[in-house]
């Protein structure tokens, strides 16, 4: 009776307890990505925090807040990743950033009309908490997944993220559209504090959800054994060793050429992905689409994305990881062209379905492709670099989008600029030699000793 469920879990990349525990952090942190980054908070930012300015001006402020959050984590990730490797402290650093994000999102409860600076500050800190914690979370992937299962494990976790983020967003949407469900006042004569309370409680729920569902990963995934290089001593200053490792890695970049080329390609095409993710509801808001329909479109992405995330894990075994990513980028190019032409709610729903087909799978396979070329004893450091490249992939896109909106007064023309990121990034990815990158990672892990 247990053979069939076991085969199913194996196909989904969730067949061992530590794999399921690891995937639960995607479930946890995706609540922030759906409610704060994508759905409820962007609308709240423009209509409440930015109520004293025009929508294009508020959109530009939101874009620059995204940029500031990306820069903050880009500065911190590589050195902290190297320190975490040396001290065997990936989970401790993950916990610190997770708590930063949890309390920042809960603090959004206090954002009221015109509180633009407070909104920007808390949003930047919440982004730093989420992306910082993901650096250390993702650095655990090559330690818990074998080469033959790493694609399925990564896509399985993304699917779990879709479920977790989608469930909380659906719950939030229910009480935002009908506050009486949780005993909140309704009517046409509410105070500003009363009318914004459902959304502000949604922000608190993100922090609670994020904290609660982080527990399985913190308890069920072991910290990788501490491994140090031949020229290191176990009692050296962690930051001294961290900076030394960074200099060493950068000096030996030619040895890890394929991994760095993968990161560079990812930086470029992820710019396009993150711009679509972060600016989608802002784009729809500017088109004048009803807010409830915008959030429903995000739910479509969450739940339609679940089977497609799993599908990309299986697809990678047929087309290869790189080939499957290229397919996703081709679909994204079509998404941008279609988005330029849309005007109705139905068309926006179709757009959401198209995004759902490729978003999770493309990003999950990018993660597993890079993880396959990472030296295990430097996984925190390398995923710190990955986070830097990813965040630069979140800097230029929203910044360009903001500039385009400011100069043209519309998001419609700006969306076409995104196509260039997919074309250039895909062309660079085609040049990656995956086999060579995997060999370099294996050689770097040789001749280590435990501390």
Q: What is the DSSP string of 264-318?
A: HHHHHHHHHHHHHHHHHHHHHHHTT--HHHHHHHHHHHHHHHHHHHHHHHHHHHH
- Give CA separation, 342 vs 295, 405, 412, 419, in Å: 17, 17, 9, 16
- Statement: residue 294 has pLDDT above 80: no
**What's the mean pLDDT in 29-48?**
89
Q: What's the rounded mean pLDDT across residues 308-319? A: 91
121: exposed, middle or buried (Cβ count in 10 Å: 0-12, 13-18, 19+) = middle
Average pLDDT, stretch 358-362? 91
Q: What is the mean pLDDT of the chain?
A: 87
- Whether residue 33 is predicted with pLDDT greater than 60 in this model: the reply is yes
Percent of the chain with pLDDT over 90: 44
The whole-angstrom separation of Cα 399 and Cα 152 is 33
Residue 395 reports pLDDT greater than 80? no
- Indicate if the pLDDT at residue 205 is higher than 90: yes
pLDDT score for 153: 94
Cα atoms in the Cβ-side hemisphere of radius 13 Å centred on 113: 10
Residue 381: pLDDT above 80?
yes
* Confidence grade of residue 416 (pLDDT, cut at 50, 70, 90): confident
Q: What are phi and psi of 62, to 5 degrees?
A: -65, -40
Check whether 448 has a pLDDT greater than 70: no
* Higher per-residue pLDDT: 375 or 416: 375
Looking at the predicted structure, is the pLDDT value of residue 372 above 50? yes
* Between residues 207 and 281, the one the model is more confident about: 207
pLDDT given at position 399:
72
- Cβ proximity of 340 and 125 under 8 Å: no
How big is the CA angle at 203 (ends 200 and 204), to the nearest 5 degrees? 95
Does residue 75 carry a pLDDT above 70? yes
Beta strands in 96-152 (DSSP E): none
pLDDT at 254 over 90: no
pLDDT at 1: 42
pLDDT of residue 426: 95
Angle (CA) 38 39 45, round 5°: 90
Burial 333-347 (b: 16+ CB within 10 A, else e): bebbeebeebeebee
Contact 90, 223 (CB under 8 A): yes
Q: Is the dihedral of CA 342, 300, 128, 437 positive or negative?
A: negative
> Distance of CA 94 to CAs 121, 176, 179, 204, 451, Å?
21, 31, 35, 20, 22
Least confident of 153-167, 225-239, 300-314: 225-239
pTM of the model: 0.85
With cut-offs at 50, 70 and 90, classify the pLDDT of residue 427: very high
Mean pLDDT along residues 403-421: 75
pLDDT for 428: 96
The answer on pLDDT for 102 being more than 90 is yes
Could you give the CA distance from residue 5 to residue 125 in angstroms, rounded to a whole number?
41
Angle at 57 between CA 54 and CA 59, to 5 degrees: 110
CB neighbours of residue 41 within 10 Å: 28
Per-residue pLDDT tens over the stretch 215-224: 999 999 999 9
3-state secondary structure of 227: strand
Token code pair at residue 95:
């916990």
Strand ranges inside 166-274, DSSP E: 227-228
Domains and CATH numbers, the chain: 15-450 (1.20.1250.20)
Burial of 148 (0-12, 13-18, 19+ CB in 10 A): exposed
DSSP 224: P
Place of tokens 């639960």: 24
pLDDT value for 3: 55
pLDDT category of residue 394 using cuts at 50, 70 and 90: low
């Amino acid at each position: 009776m247990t053979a069939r469920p076991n085969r199913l879990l194996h196909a989904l990349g969730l067949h061992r307890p530590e794999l399921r525990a690891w995937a639960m952090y995607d479930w946890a942190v995706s609540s922030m990505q759906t409610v704060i980054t994508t759905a409820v908070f962007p609308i709240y930012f423009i209509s409440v925090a930015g109520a004293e300015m025009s929508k294009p001006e508020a959109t530009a402020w939101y874009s620059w807040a995204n940029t500031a959050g990306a820069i903050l984590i880009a500065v911190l990730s590589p050195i902290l990743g190297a320190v975490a490797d040396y001290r065997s402290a990936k989970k401790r650093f993950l916990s610190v950033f997770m708590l930063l994000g949890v309390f920042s999102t809960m603090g959004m409860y206090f954002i009221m009309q015109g509180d633009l600076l407070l909104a920007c500050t808390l949003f930047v800190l919440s982004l730093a908490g989420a992306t910082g914690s993901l650096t250390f979370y993702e650095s655990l992937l090559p330690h818990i997944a074998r080469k033959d299962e790493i694609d399925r494990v990564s896509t399985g976790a993304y699917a779990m993220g879709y479920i977790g983020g989608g469930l909380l967003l659906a719950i939030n949407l229910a009480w935002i559209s009908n506050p009486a469900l949780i005993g909140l006042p309704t009517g046409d004569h509410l105070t500003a504090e009363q009318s914004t309370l459902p959304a502000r409680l949604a922000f608190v729920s993100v922090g609670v959800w994020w904290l609660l569902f982080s527990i399985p990963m913190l308890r069920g995934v072991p910290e990788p054994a501490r491994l140090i290089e031949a020229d290191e001593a176990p009692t050296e200053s962690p930051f001294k060793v961290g900076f030394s490792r960074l200099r060493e890695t950068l000096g030996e970049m030619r040895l890890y050429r394929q991994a760095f080329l993968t990161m560079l390609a990812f930086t470029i095409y992820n710019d396009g992905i993150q711009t679509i993710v972060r600016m989608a509801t802002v784009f729809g808001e500017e088109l004048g689409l009803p807010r409830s329909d915008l959030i429903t479109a995000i739910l479509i992405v969450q739940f339609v994305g679940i089977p497609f995330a799993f599908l990309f894990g299986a697809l990678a075994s047929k087309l290869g990881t790189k080939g499957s990513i290229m397919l996703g980028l081709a679909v994204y190019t079509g998404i941008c062209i279609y988005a330029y032409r849309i005007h109705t709610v139905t068309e926006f729903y179709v757009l959401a379905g198209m995004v759902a087909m490729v978003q999770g799978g493309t990003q999950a396979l990018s993660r597993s492709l890079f993880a396959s070329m990472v030296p295990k004893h430097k996984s925190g450091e390398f995923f710190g670099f990955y986070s830097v490249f990813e965040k630069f992939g979140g800097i230029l896109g929203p910044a360009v989008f903001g500039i385009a909106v400011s100069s043209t007064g519309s998001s419609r023309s700006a969306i076409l600029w995104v196509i260039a990121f997919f074309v250039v990034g895909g062309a660079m990815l085609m040049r990656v030699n995956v086999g060579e990158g995997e060999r370099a990672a294996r050689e770097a892990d040789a001749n280590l000793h435990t501390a």
